Amino acid sequence: MAAPVFGATDVLSLGADWSPIDSSGSLSRTNAEAGGANGDIIAETAHNATETGTARYHYVDATTPEVGFIAALLAVNALPGKLVATNTLMVLGVAIDYSPCAKGELPIVTFTVTDGPTAAPTTAFWYTSALTLPTFRAANLTVPQTILANTPASAEVINAQWDITMPHGRSLNKSGEYLAGEGHGARETLVLTWKGIPTSITSTGWSGTNAPSTKLPTKINTGYPDQVYTFTRKVTRST
């Protein structure tokens, strides 16, 4: 038997500025069945074949690197609602994990994709963010401290995780296979993990969905516990 092939590939066709880490996906179908007079299945058909998966990358442009990830993603049309891999996959979500930066490693960008659309509509809906999300290709690696403005006092951000996601509608044809669909209802979420509790975090326009309790604060007698804040907000579609 031939040896398996080692290494990751650029499954989304993002190009030389993006270095693939790994990818995984699955092909799923819906099973339709009919029951007979005695309750046994007398017919069944699998339909609505759907491929979904994720691909993780590092942004590595060292020639003319983008300072922020949103510009880097726009350069390769890889935001929710956009088509990648030669118009064979639609981006449903993008996530950025800055935790590796605390170990001197590049942030990890994860794309969630699905098949179905093979051509973008004339005025396709897609979604982006106004946040400043540093790529660190032209600066020293560190967990970003000011994605949201704050007064840190004796605290600092030790991890930041951001994502933007959208649901995707799927209309089926007479054979139960994909006919058409569009993205909708996107939102972005930011999770900030702190050591210590900041005096304030400026979150105008965001909904705060998680924060340390003031009545039951997280305290331990063996170390310095993490303090997690989660914010989310709707995203206005672009065309």
Residue 118 C-alpha from the chain's centroid: 21
pLDDT at 190 over 70: yes
Residue 8 C-alpha from the chain's centroid: 19
Residue 30 belongs to some domain of the structure: no
DSSP label at residue 101? G
Residue 199 belongs to some domain of the structure: yes
Residue 150 belongs to some domain of the structure: yes
Residue 79 belongs to some domain of the structure: yes
> Given this model, what pLDDT does residue 87 score?
84
What mean pLDDT is predicted for residues 183-208?
A: 95
Amino acid at 197: I
Residue 2 belongs to some domain of the structure: no
Say if residues 108 and 56 touch (Cβ distance below 8 Å): yes
Task: Kindly report, residue by residue over 104-162, the tens digit of the pLDDT.
Answer: 999 999 999 999 877 766 667 899 999 999 999 878 899 999 999 999 988 999 999 99
Domain count, the chain: 1
Q: Determine the Cα–Cα distance for residues 98 and 93; give it in Å rounded to an integer.
A: 17
Structural domain of residue 126, as residue ranges?
A: 18-22+51-234
Q: Residue 69 is inside which H or E element, if any?
A: helix 69-75
For residue 99, name the pLDDT band (cuts at 50, 70, 90).
very high
Task: Kindly report, residue by residue over 50-73, the tens digit of the pLDDT.
Answer: 999 999 999 999 889 999 999 999
> Given this model, what pLDDT does residue 122 score?
65
- How high does pLDDT run on average in the chain? 93
